[in-house]
């Protein structure tokens, strides 16, 4: 007998946002405060500029990130978590604690001859 679990639509929507590749890492980096595009990219190796641009737009549309444009020469743009985004800190901390307990990492190989 199979037991069906009814998913809460809000829970499902939250995972649609947070479950996208790179989104959690972007939020984690942004928890330290406002960031310029290049600073986010520098902190997440292997994340392409195209994907970062798309994720930032999605997070902005979801009300998690706000984009600030400063009319300077050259124009300066910063991204910042909204209150809704900053409220994800406890979620990110919980995932970090779980990962520390349960995710095994390969040990780096020692150089030969040592």
- Say if residue 114's pLDDT is above 80: no
The answer to whether residues 81 and 60 touch, using CB atoms and an 8 Å cutoff, is no
The verdict on residue 108 lying in a domain is no
The verdict on residue 104 lying in a domain is no
Range of the domain at 74: 20-96
The verdict on residue 2 lying in a domain is no
- Say if residue 12's pLDDT is above 70: yes
The verdict on residue 1 lying in a domain is no
- Say if residue 112's pLDDT is above 70: no
pLDDT at residue 67, rounded to an integer: 98
The verdict on residue 40 lying in a domain is yes
The answer to whether residues 40 and 79 touch, using CB atoms and an 8 Å cutoff, is yes
pTM here? 0.86
Average pLDDT on 22-28 reads: 98
- Say if residue 83's pLDDT is above 90: yes
The verdict on residue 112 lying in a domain is no
Whole-number Å distance between alpha carbons of 92 and 84: 13
The answer to whether residues 88 and 27 touch, using CB atoms and an 8 Å cutoff, is yes
- Say if residue 39's pLDDT is above 90: yes
Cis, peptide link before residue 18, omega less than 30° from 0: no
Whole-number Å distance between alpha carbons of 106 and 33: 31
The CATH number that applies at residue 79 is 1.10.10.10
Strand partners, 76: 70
Local structure of 78: helix, strand or coil: strand
The verdict on residue 67 lying in a domain is yes
Confidence of residue 113 (pLDDT cuts 50, 70, 90): low
């Amino acid at each position: 007998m199979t037991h069906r679990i009814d998913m809460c639509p809000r829970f499902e929507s939250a995972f649609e946002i947070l479950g996208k590749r790179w989104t959690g890492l972007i939020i984690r980096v942004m928890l330290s405060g406002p960031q310029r595009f290049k600073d986010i990219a520098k902190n997440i190796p292997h994340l392409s500029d195209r994907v970062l641009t798309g994720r930032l737009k999605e997070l902005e549309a979801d009300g998690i990130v706000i984009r600030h444009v400063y009319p300077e020469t050259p124009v300066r743009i910063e991204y910042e978590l909204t209150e809704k985004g900053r409220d994800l800190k406890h979620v990110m901390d919980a995932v970090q604690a779980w990962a520390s307990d349960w995710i095994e990492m390969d040990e780096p190989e020692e150089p030969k001859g040592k």
